Amino acid sequence: MSNILALVLAGGQVEELLCLTEKRAKSALPVFGMYRIIDFVLSNLMHAGIENVGILSQYRPHDLVRHIGSGEHWDFIGRRREIQILPPYRGLHGSDWYKGTADAVYQNIAYIEEYDADHIIIASADHVYRMDYRSLMQFHIEHRADATICFTPQDIGSTRFGYGIIENDRLIDYIEKPSSPLSTMVSMTLYVFRKNFLLDVLQENARAPSHEFGKDILPRMIKHDMICAYAFGGYWAYARTIDSYYRTNMDVLKGKIDLGNWQIRTNLTERTKKKDRVPAFINGDVENSIISDGCMIKGTVKNSILSPGVCVARGAEIVDSILFHDTTVGENSQLKRVICDKDTAIADNVSIGLEGEHTPSSEFKELLKSGISIIGRTVTISENTVIGANTVVYPGSRIDRSYVPAGSTLR
């Protein structure tokens, strides 16, 4: 695999995730307690033996850069192994920032040409899955493809994806985000290109008004070039919305994801200092939950995921919730279907998400209507506060009022 260079698309902002991505790239979003979403693609690359990786970052890269570090946690360090962060740079015009997925790769042609690679893997950092990229590369080479696009069968009918029609391993049609999906084969935003073919394609598209692989380049390539389709049958999740992010986390509690077999690596020496935390202390009731190191549980936790350092006081009850690092929950407080970001302090006798689950968000009606409440990082919630479901509390807020109706947005 030494003749393969990987480029990871990790720079996007996703407004559908509301305040969870207000100050971080989506690829740096915590998942399953101790991981970040980008860990999955980096682990796939590591297991395949791919030695050189470029990370195309743009939006709020601080958390992402700190998490990746030198790349040693995925073995991307050594004389011939490395990982590089490739941010955009401002030239004479603001338009020099990445204008799309294809433009992000185009701006890094000089980086690509540094390596004596025959093939380029381009992978999104926003997806959760475990794939053996060696099988993908074997498929691509045996079919003598100019490009190979990865698809997975998903009976979802969403307009948020790209869909392809496949015949005899060839991609014969593709539409990005159609009003009516033309198949059940969803693009994984995972591509393999012959290096020289990719460079030609990027040069041809450089003056186009739009610069997206799915929207602009793939439909055009299908007509003239050898474009193959690789079908992936394993678990795959694209956590783009609050509902899909929540569902992905809950899937691990339902046994749909075997993290032990996946062998996912993460950075255990980031700011969370997970490697220095004491083991979890549990003197309460825990049912079907993930409890990370450094947690202190004296209350009740059911069907929930707790990142390192979460403290749940005596009499508190956490149900169907996801709590990020170092959140504290006071005595006799109750949380139901809550996603709570880092370093948030919830005082005694607080209720979140138990009322108004059928009242959608007044500001984000289509994004928040399934009963999930979002609490941003470093929020302080005073004792005896009641917060209804489908509520968003933005980072740094202090909630002193006694009642917050369901569907509210607090900034």
| CA proximity to 229, closest of 324, 136, 361, 100 | 136
For 292-306, the pLDDT digits (tens) are 999 999 999 999 999
Report which secondary-structure segment, H or E, holds 393: strand 392-393
Domains of the chain: 4-259 (3.90.550.10), 272-410 (2.160.10.10)
- Position 137 scores a pLDDT of 97
* Phi-psi group of 60: left, alpha or beta (phi > 0 → left; psi -120 to 50 → alpha; rest → beta): left
Prediction pTM value: 0.93
| The predicted structure's pLDDT at residue 136 | 97
Neighbours of 78 (CB within 10 A): 10
Residue 12 is predicted with a pLDDT of 65
CA atoms within 13 A on the CB side of 100: 16
User: What is the phi/psi pair of residue 138, to 5°?
Assistant: -60, -45
The overall longest dimension of the chain from CA atoms, in Å, is 66
Digit-coded pLDDT (tens) for 154-188: 887 777 889 999 999 999 999 988 888 889 999 99
Q: What is the pLDDT of residue 97?
A: 61
Enter the tokens of residue 101. 């997925």
Contacts of 92 (CB under 8 A, 6+ apart): none
Positions of the chain with pLDDT under 50: 90-95, 272-273
As a whole number of Å, the end-to-end CA separation of the chain is: 49
pLDDT score for 174: 93
CA dist., res. 348 & res. 333, Å (int): 6
**Directed axis angle between helix 133-142 and helix 38-48, to 10°?**
60
DSSP symbols for 237-272: EE--SHHHHHHHHHHHHTTS--HHHHT----TTSTT
Dig out the tokens for 96 from the structure.
């020099």
**What per-residue confidence (pLDDT) applies to 290?**
98
Q: How far apart are CA 317 and CA 66, in angstroms?
A: 33
* pLDDT score for 91: 47
Please give the DSSP secondary-structure letter assigned to residue 213. I
Written as six digits, the tokens of 234 are: 């394993």
